[in-house]
A and B are shown apart, each in its own frame.
Chain A
Amino acid sequence: MALAVPDDAAIRAARARLPRAFGPGPARRAATLLRWACLAIWLAGALWWFDFSPTRIWNGLSGLATILVLMVPPSPGELWADILQGLAESVAMAFLGTFLAAVVAVPLGFLGARNVVTNLLAHFSLRRVFDGLRGVDQLIWALAYVRAVGLGPLAGVLAIFSADVAVLAKMYAEAIENAERRQVEGVVAAGATRTLAVRFGLLPQVLPVILAQALYAFESNTRSAAILGVVGAGGIGLQIAERIKVRHWDEVAFIILLLVATVAVIDLISGRIRRRFIGARGRT
């Protein structure tokens, strides 16, 4: 059977009959254009406001090039032991803070999920409390804890814990909300109570996500624990900040590379664990 080739009249008739089949109408196209125009105007305004002038960029880049040249070759300097101890402290702070936060966040996540706690007011207010704690950055927590419990890694652990409990609880709550409802319904249909439905319908679905999020938080905290030392909360950050202050760029580069290597090792381990418990399909 040969395909009938439609003539212009047929196409025009089809366009009149089914305009949406021929792409978005003029109104939607105008709206899209308007959106892009707004974005462009804001972008131009912001670039002007923050002084992204070509000369400034050029001068900055040449300054950066000087620094990069001075960074080669990276050298550990003379304080090997300090650097290694700082690194160990950072990793330990990250682990402890994440672990405590992940444990505390599980019940909070269930409380914050719309399909577990169906009371809309409770859901809304708990979520806003999470947002509130989330809104305060780790470094602010660290500054405050340094004032409260003194200099040292304990302040860092508490800062990581305080900042991450809310983040993880929110993630967990979202994972629980995204879980398949049918499995819960199946368990309920078999005569289970609410608790049992959560245990056998919901938990097996969200446990891999919970574990993956905790591991991902650990990875990200290893990075952020590296800077808490800038405000005196222990870890490698103090070493970096001090060396930048005295412009020992080669040592800065060495510490940064060491940090990258450490984080890569931790990512590797955490990826292994993730794949083992979640299977190849699991995504973070």
Chain B
Amino acid sequence: MSATARPDAIPPRDPAVARVETAFQALRRQRLRAGLAAAAILAAAFIVSAIVSEFYPGRLIEGLPRAGEYFGKLIPDLRWSALLSGPKTEGSIAYWFYRIDQWAWLIFETANMAALGTLMGAVGGFLLCFPAAANLAPNAWVFQSVRRFLELFRTVPEIVYALILVWAFGIGPLPGILAIALHTTGALGKLFAEAVENADMRAWDGVRAVGGTWLMGVRYAIVPQVLPNFLSYVLLRFEVNVRGASIIGFVGAGGIGQEIYQVISQNYYEEIGAIVLLVVLTVAAIDLISERLRLGVIGRT
């Protein structure tokens, strides 16, 4: 066809046009059928799980107003006139947060527990992620066993580890930190391994071609590529772990959790509101800082 041919020069009854049209319609029909099948499966799964988990409209309509009422009670009784007066005056912020010093210390402890647990877990995940990446694993056996190992670590929730470790190590932050570290190893190991699998293998080929060992390949070809990704995953995980550390005290493993459990189970509504607000503000602050750091990490490379 010459370069000057225009679209309207195509003969209207070209059999190719009809063929393309039929193929296109067939593809559309196939896509529609696949979409409908997926929707049907989704609907069936929805109905079955609604029945199993007693998610009935009646109970929902009955329950939601009560939930609203409960959350309404968490809002403290603050008065404008007394807002900034001392902790003895009812309706002031200081009265609401009358135990702020203890709570602040507990939250500081919680954040440190999370940081230590994240660090330990990140080290564990870093060591295990390379044999768990399909493109670097020395053989299928190592790959599968490390993958299963990581799966076991991240499938068992922190609280369950904490329940067991509290029994072994005694009450306090230490079992909580170890529980976080174990779970984080599994979670980060998987994410790290996926990042490694997505790495550009040409650098790896280059290092191996000039006689580098497996370790050298990892050090000089893979790590520089994936390190920013790893750091951003670690920071994200740290945010997750701060929340995790704040509830791990439910089972006696340190941090603010013990306090939260007590005020919720004894219905000290205003204190629930105060502590949860403190935790949320802390998490938000940590999130802001870590977002800034993450953007820096990704932007620099």
Chain A interface residues toward B at CB < 8 A = 43, 46-47, 49-52, 56, 59-61, 63-64, 66-67, 88-89, 91-93, 95-96, 99, 128, 131-132, 134-137, 139-140, 143-145, 147-150, 152-154, 156-158, 223-224, 226-227, 230-231, 234, 237, 240-241, 244, 247, 252, 256, 259-260, 263-264, 267, 283-284
Q: Is the CB of A224 within 8 A of B157?
A: yes
Residues of A within 8 A of B246 (CB): 137, 140
Q: Tell me, in angstroms, the Cα distance from A61 to B156 when the chains sit together.
A: 19
Which residue from B155, B243, B250 sits with its C-beta under 8 Å from A223? B155
Q: Does B207 contact A (CB under 8 A)?
A: no
Q: Is the CB of A63 within 8 A of B67?
A: no
Q: Tell me, in angstroms, the Cα distance from A132 to B113 when the chains sit together.
A: 21
Indicate whether A139 sits within 8 Å of B247 (C-beta atoms), given known contacts A51-B172, A96-B49, A234-B53.
yes
Q: Tell me, in angstroms, the Cα distance from A44 to B61 when the chains sit together.
A: 53
Residues of B within 8 A of A66 (CB): 168
Residues of B within 8 A of A252 (CB): 164
Q: Is the CB of A63 within 8 A of B46?
A: no
Q: Does B279 contact A (CB under 8 A)?
A: yes
Q: Is the CB of A143 within 8 A of B261?
A: yes
- Digitize B232-276: 1 where CB-to-A-CB distance is under 8 Å, 0 elsewhere: 000000000001101100110010000011001101000010001
Q: Is the CB of A96 within 8 A of B50?
A: yes
Residues of B within 8 A of A264 (CB): 151, 155
Q: Tell me, in angstroms, the Cα distance from A134 to B280 when the chains sit together.
A: 8
Question: What would 4 more interface pairs be, CB under 8 Å, given A131-B284, A244-B164, A264-B155?
Answer: A50-B173, A51-B172, A136-B243, A144-B67
Indicate whether A157 sits within 8 Å of B280 (C-beta atoms), given known contacts A50-B173, A224-B157.
no
Q: Is the CB of A92 within 8 A of B48?
A: yes
Residues of B within 8 A of A256 (CB): 156, 160
Residues of B within 8 A of A95 (CB): 45-46, 49
Q: Does B154 contact A (CB under 8 A)?
A: yes
Q: Does B104 contact A (CB under 8 A)?
A: no
Q: Does B59 contact A (CB under 8 A)?
A: yes
Q: Does B206 contact A (CB under 8 A)?
A: no
How far does the Cβ of A60 sit from chain B's closest Cβ, in whole Å? 4
Residues of B within 8 A of A136 (CB): 243, 276, 279-280
Q: List residues of B (71-130) whose CB comes within 8 Å of A's CBs.
A: 71, 112-113, 115-116, 119
Q: Is the CB of A50 within 8 A of B116?
A: yes
- Digitize B268-296: 1 where CB-to-A-CB distance is under 8 Å, 0 elsewhere: 00001000100111111001000000000
Q: Does B69 contact A (CB under 8 A)?
A: yes
Q: Tell me, in angstroms, the Cα distance from A156 to B52 when the chains sit together.
A: 12
Residues of A within 8 A of B70 (CB): 144, 147-148
| 19 CB-based A-B contacts, threshold 8 Å | A52-B174, A92-B52, A96-B55, A131-B284, A135-B282, A135-B287, A136-B279, A137-B243, A137-B244, A137-B247, A143-B265, A144-B70, A144-B264, A148-B70, A148-B71, A149-B59, A154-B54, A230-B251, A264-B155
Q: Tell me, in angstroms, the Cα distance from A226 to B198 when the chains sit together.
A: 31
Indicate whether A263 sits within 8 Å of B155 (C-beta atoms), given known contacts A143-B261, A143-B264, A152-B54.
yes
Q: Tell me, in angstroms, the Cα distance from A63 to B260 when the chains sit together.
A: 28
Residues of B within 8 A of A132 (CB): 280, 284
Q: Is the CB of A150 within 8 A of B63?
A: yes
Q: Tell me, in angstroms, the Cα distance from A152 to B42 when the chains sit together.
A: 24
Q: Tell me, in angstroms, the Cα distance from A149 to B160 when the chains sit together.
A: 25
Q: Tell me, in angstroms, the Cα distance from A47 to B62 when the chains sit together.
A: 49
Q: Does B221 contact A (CB under 8 A)?
A: no
Residues of A within 8 A of B48 (CB): 92
Residue of B nearest to A273 (CB): B38
Q: Tell me, in angstroms, the Cα distance from A140 to B154 when the chains sit together.
A: 21
Which residue from B167, B173, B254 sits with its C-beta under 8 Å from A67? B167
Q: Does B177 contact A (CB under 8 A)?
A: yes
Indicate whether A49 sits within 8 Å of B112 (C-beta atoms), given known contacts A99-B46, A136-B279.
yes
